[in-house]
Amino acid sequence: MPTSSIYDSLRLAAGYAYARPPVHRHMVEAIPDCLGTTTQFRLVLDVGCGAGLSTAALEPFSQTVIGLEPVPAMLTYSRFVAPRSLFLVAQAERLPFRAGLFDLITAAGSLNYVDLGLFLPEAARVVAAEGAMVIYDFSEGRRLLGSDRLTQWFAEFQRRYPPPPDYDLDVRGLAYEQSGLRLQGYRDISVPIRMSLDSYLPYVMTETSVEAAIARGVPEADIRGWCAKTLLDVFRDTSLDVLFDGYLAWVRRG
């Protein structure tokens, strides 16, 4: 199943908008420290913003944020998710902005889906001379602090409902120099989010593996029922720290 058709789903857009834990907020909070700044950003471009969660996370740190997304359906709820931001349907490979406009560009889990040979020169073109691009991503919430119960459950979940094809992206090995950019720094980060069965179940139903299974004809109610039943043994009527393992990389011109 083509990845693009998965993200055309209004069900998935709603899930991303309303059922995802606030991991982006924790990731974005680390950006000023990574860049060594305490100054509010003037104009920020969030590339591949999806439902707008990453864009919303940038609002407290920015005067203006523009979320750019190639799939219109994903922006269905963006005005509710990030009411202070602007949104635009466009391709990352052809950024419709003048040179040197943005003092920060962010890309949260979106570079796996773009032509990097076209995007990186575009990013170098539209970022300001003293600006930066921050690339970050994080894993699914597949493990707990101090227990392997969720790790085992998530492995069975993905065996039952395989995720769509994807490819690994090591942002430390990209050809930045060919586009006039340089990798300045990289940081691993693990974000703990306190979750219960009542919050984890709606979240896991937003995984693309669920959307792919529904597209293959598996009833959504069957997937939800299996998850709800088997997650009882994981959460056991309590709240637990679910870990989202991620990274931030920051890139500058020159």
pLDDT at 71 over 90: yes
pLDDT at 3 over 70: no
Q: Which residue has the tokens 């032509």?
A: 115
Helix runs in 82-218, H state only:
116-126, 149-160, 197-204, 208-215
Average pLDDT of the chain to the nearest whole number: 96
Average the pLDDT over 62-66 and give the result. 98
| pLDDT tens by residue, 76-87 | 999 999 999 999
Average the pLDDT over 147-166 and give the result. 95
**What is the per-residue pLDDT for 166?**
76
**What is the per-residue pLDDT for 2?**
39
Counting other chains too, the contacts that 62-70 makes at CB distance below 8 Å and 24 or more residues apart are 62/104, 68/92, 68/95
**What is the per-residue pLDDT for 1?**
32
Task: Give the chain's count of helices (H) and strands (E).
Answer: 11, 8
| pLDDT tens by residue, 215-231 | 999 999 999 999 999 99
Average the pLDDT over 124-147 and give the result. 97
Positive or negative torsion for Cα 177, 179, 183, 186? negative
Strand intervals (E) in 33-150: 41-47, 62-69, 86-89, 102-108, 127-138, 143-144
Average the pLDDT over 46-53 and give the result. 98
Question: Which domains does the chain carry?
Answer: 3-140+167-193+244-253 (3.40.50.150)
